[in-house]
């Protein structure tokens, strides 16, 4: 009898333990995939205060509203480069040298190229921002909205240094993604990447801000700006030009790059912060080109300088900042009295710890703007007012001519292209619209070297040549130039046909 009683008691105890284990397991399973953040009236708690989040103190992050608000303002972009006839010169053989034959030229037809990416609608009247590399060299740009409406887009302007471009589609009452402030982002903050990865439209991925002001060295252009927001939200091919938004659905970055050994997402995605986007877009819209301000210094991170053997025992008065290695001639810093060896710690009160952060801050200004530079000289803090200048050493607006009759937009020739073609001057046709140049056969990418036998080095030179030709009896622009492929081409544009 006693043995039977013990068996019953043991069975009841075992049943209670199983029930308790089931309850605990159920709670853990229900909580396993829930992300918690503090509520407005509940501070963060430490493990010593509470081992698990409790109801009322924490609430889950809801990203559905942010996704719904932004997915309609992110578009799919198709860029097409048409087939072209290109000419190349064959390598002369021994018989050419012996008999004085001219080198033979051959022509071949390139294949059309189609690329895909994303873009973000900024205004209800159809201005769209995307990456420059999404539409670079494109002859046709097609934009598809989330409701499947399709538009032909016009390139307003593009900037190689920041990898941004501004497009325009005709219409009104388009859905927009509201602009946020990337400066307000905090590490660990939740963000959404919205775009069209692998040509899959209207895709949303979530992650956190992993780092800010990150430089990864992917842009080759001289003067390129890299101050990326790093995120672990999945960014893949096709996401370029899409939106990085916060939990309120505000644009905080333009997705631009991923870092991966395989070419697909591996945990590292990068977006251009809106502090840069806003300035570039405003300039492209108003001037057609970016008015880039330059402080006039060559600097290094002070933290890296301190690691050098010769500096290990030196005291610079700080461990963060930008050490000035050299001052550029004609720059604002030199004119204001800044010296080599100074350590810049802030611009207009905003702290800068690295050269990347300094560039990200200065790029938000225009030539002619005045900023207060806080620096350390012999460990003593000084504040110096500096007037920022452009790359030419003045404060004038760098214009991008768009003479309606010619129907073309011009820009400076990228440094890499100048080196490849071994040319020291010229202006490149960045876009061709309906007009005399298009009628004559001039294509996007053409580099104008001379007009009416005068070297072309700037927009002003083109405008001057245009004015002189328009006032002349012939009214003809005799244009000499070269395409990026190396093919030389001459054109005669008759202004009397306008």
Query: Residue 261's domain is classified under what CATH number?
Result: 2.40.10.120
What integer pLDDT is reported at residue 103 of this predicted model? Answer: 57
Annotated catalytic residue, options 76, 79, 133, 461: 133
What integer pLDDT is reported at residue 96 of this predicted model? Answer: 58
Report which secondary-structure segment, H or E, holds 26: helix 2-31
For 274-369, strand residue ranges (E) read 297-301, 322-327, 343-347, 350-351
Whether the Cβ atoms of residue 429 and residue 448 lie closer than 8 Å to each other: yes
DSSP 55: B
What integer pLDDT is reported at residue 59 of this predicted model? Answer: 59
Q: In what order do the strands lie in the sheet with 74-81?
A: 150-152, 140-144, 74-81, 113-121, 127-131, 164-168, 154-159
Task: Look at the pTM and tell me if it is higher than 0.75.
Answer: no
Picking from 387, 418, 445, the residue at the C-terminal end of a domain is: 387
Residues 249 and 343 in one domain: no
Cα separation of the two ends of the chain: 116
In a domain, 263, yes or no: yes
What integer pLDDT is reported at residue 274 of this predicted model? Answer: 97
Is residue 21 classed exposed, middle or buried when 0-12, 13-18 and 19+ CB atoms within 10 A define those classes? exposed
Structure tokens given for 476: 């003809």
C-alpha distances in Å from residue 59, one per residue of 27, 44, 66, 315: 16, 12, 17, 47
Residues 220 and 271 in one domain: yes
Residues 167 and 312 in one domain: no
Other beta carbons less than 10 A from residue 367's beta carbon: 21
Number of domains in the chain: 3
- Maximum distance among all Cα pairs of the chain, rounded to whole angstroms: 128
Tokens 């790093």 -> residue = 230
Residues 375 and 420 in one domain: no
Residues 129 and 206 in one domain: yes
Residues 6+ apart with CB under 8 A from 57: 38, 39, 42, 45, 50
Spatial separation of the C-alpha atoms in residues 167 and 154, rounded to whole Å: 6
In a domain, 131, yes or no: yes
What's the gap between Cα 295 and its chain centre? Answer: 21
Q: Is 472 helix (H, G, I), strand (E, B) or coil?
A: coil
Residues 281 and 372 in one domain: no
Q: Is 122 helix (H, G, I), strand (E, B) or coil?
A: coil
pLDDT in tens, the chain (498 residues): 444 445 444 454 544 444 444 444 444 334 433 333 333 333 333 333 333 444 444 557 889 999 999 999 999 999 998 877 666 556 666 655 555 555 566 677 778 899 999 999 999 999 999 999 999 888 899 999 999 999 999 999 888 889 999 999 999 999 999 999 999 999 999 999 999 998 888 899 999 999 999 988 777 655 678 899 999 999 998 999 999 999 999 999 999 988 777 777 777 899 999 999 999 999 999 888 888 899 999 999 999 998 888 888 889 999 999 999 999 888 899 999 999 999 999 999 999 999 999 999 999 999 999 999 999 999 999 999 999 998 778 888 765 544 567 888 888 888 888 888 999 899 999 888 778 888 889 998 999 999 999 999 988 888 888 878 877 877 889 999 999 988 999 999 888 754
In a domain, 55, yes or no: no
Spatial separation of the C-alpha atoms in residues 301 and 465, rounded to whole Å: 45
In a domain, 48, yes or no: no
Residues 170 and 191 in one domain: yes
Annotated catalytic residue, options 79, 213, 240, 289: 240
Q: Is 188 helix (H, G, I), strand (E, B) or coil?
A: coil
Residues 240 and 282 in one domain: yes
Q: What are the phi and psi torsion angles at 8 (to 5°)?
A: -65, -45
Annotated catalytic residue, options 118, 159, 162, 163: 163
In a domain, 28, yes or no: no
Structure tokens given for 25: 């397991």
Residue 342: CATH number of its domain: 2.30.42.10
Picking from 257, 291, 325, the residue at the C-terminal end of a domain is: 291
Spatial separation of the C-alpha atoms in residues 139 and 134, rounded to whole Å: 12
Helices (H), 166-321: 274-287, 302-305
Spatial separation of the C-alpha atoms in residues 298 and 308, rounded to whole Å: 18
What integer pLDDT is reported at residue 61 of this predicted model? Answer: 82
Spatial separation of the C-alpha atoms in residues 470 and 468, rounded to whole Å: 5
Structure tokens given for 151: 């538009």
DSSP 439: H
Residues 477 and 454 in one domain: yes
Q: What are the phi and psi torsion angles at 10 (to 5°)?
A: -65, -40
C-alpha distances in Å from residue 394, one per residue of 59, 213, 291: 54, 28, 12
Expressed as residue numbers, the domain containing 149 is: 62-90+107-291
In a domain, 10, yes or no: no
Structure tokens given for 467: 């004015």
Angle at 213 between CA 247 and CA 175, to 5 degrees: 35
Residue closest to 251 by CA, chosen among 224, 285, 275, 232 = 275
Q: What are the phi and psi torsion angles at 496 (to 5°)?
A: -70, -10
In a domain, 398, yes or no: no
Residue closest to 156 by CA, chosen among 433, 438, 461 = 433
79, HSE (Cβ side, Cα atoms, 13 Å): 22
In a domain, 68, yes or no: yes
Is 283 an annotated catalytic residue? no
Residues 114 and 218 in one domain: yes
Is 202 an annotated catalytic residue? no
Residues 168 and 287 in one domain: yes
Picking from 291, 317, 336, the residue at the C-terminal end of a domain is: 291
Kind of pairing, strands 105-109 and 85-89? antiparallel
What integer pLDDT is reported at residue 365 of this predicted model? Answer: 95
Whether the Cβ atoms of residue 152 and residue 169 lie closer than 8 Å to each other: yes
Report which secondary-structure segment, H or E, holds 205: strand 203-214
Structure tokens given for 138: 């494109």
Is 133 an annotated catalytic residue? yes
Residues 193 and 276 in one domain: yes
């Amino acid at each position: 009898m006693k043995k039977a009683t013990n068996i019953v008691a043991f069975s009841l105890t075992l049943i209670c333990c199983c029930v308790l284990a089931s309850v605990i397991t159920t709670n853990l399973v229900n909580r396993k995939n829930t992300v918690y953040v503090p509520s407005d009236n509940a501070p963060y708690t430490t493990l010593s205060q509470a081992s698990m989040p409790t109801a009322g103190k924490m609430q889950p992050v809801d990203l559905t509203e942010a996704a719904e608000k932004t997915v309609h303002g992110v578009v799919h972009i198709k860029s097409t480069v048409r087939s072209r006839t290109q000419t190349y010169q064959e390598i002369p053989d021994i018989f050419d040298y012996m008999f004085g034959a001219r080198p033979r030229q051959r022509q071949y037809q390139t294949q059309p190229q189609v690329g895909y990416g994303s873009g973000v609608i900024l205004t209800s009247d159809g201005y769209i921002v995307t990456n420059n590399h999404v539409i670079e060299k494109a002859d046709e740009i097609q934009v598809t909205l989330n409701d499947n409406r399709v538009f032909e887009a016009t390139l307003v302007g593009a900037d190689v240094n920041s990898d941004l471009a501004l497009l325009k589609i005709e219409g009104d009452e388009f859905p927009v993604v509201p602009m946020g402030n990337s400066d307000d982002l905090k590490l660990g903050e939740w963000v959404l990447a919205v775009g069209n990865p692998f040509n899959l439209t209207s895709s949303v991925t979530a992650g956190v801000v992993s780092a800010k002001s990150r430089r990864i060295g992917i842009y080759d252009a001289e003067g390129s700006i890299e101050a990326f927001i790093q995120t672990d939200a999945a960014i893949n091919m096709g996401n370029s030009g899409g939106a990085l938004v916060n939990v309120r659905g505000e644009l905080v970055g333009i997705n631009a790059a991923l870092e991966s050994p395989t070419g697909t997402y591996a945990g590292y995605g990068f977006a251009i912060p809106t502090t840069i986007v806003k300035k570039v877009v405003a300039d492209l819209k108003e001037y057609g080109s970016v008015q880039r301000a330059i402080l006039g210094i060559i600097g290094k991170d002070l933290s890296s300088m301190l690691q050098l053997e010769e500096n290990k025992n030196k005291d610079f008065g700080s461990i963060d900042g930008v050490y000035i290695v050299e001052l550029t001639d004609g720059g604002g810093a030199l004119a204001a009295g800044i010296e080599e060896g100074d350590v810049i710690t802030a611009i207009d009160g905003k702290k800068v710890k690295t050269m990347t952060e300094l560039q990200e801050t200065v790029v938000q200004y225009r030539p002619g703007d005045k900023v207060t530079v806080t620096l350390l000289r012999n460990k003593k803090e000084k504040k110096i007012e500096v007037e920022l200048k452009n790359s030419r050493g003045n404060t004038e607006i760098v214009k991008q001519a768009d003479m309606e009759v010619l129907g073309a937009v011009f820009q400076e020739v990228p440094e890499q292209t100048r080196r490849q073609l071994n040319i020291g001057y010229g202006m490149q046709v960045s876009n061709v619209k309906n007009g005399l140049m298009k009628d004559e056969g001039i294509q996007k990418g053409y580099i104008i070297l001379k007009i009416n036998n005068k070297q072309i080095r700037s927009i002003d030179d083109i405008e001057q040549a245009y004015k002189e030709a328009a006032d002349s009896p012939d009214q003809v622009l005799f244009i000499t130039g070269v395409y990026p492929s190396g093919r030389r081409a001459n054109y005669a544009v008759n202004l009397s046909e306008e």
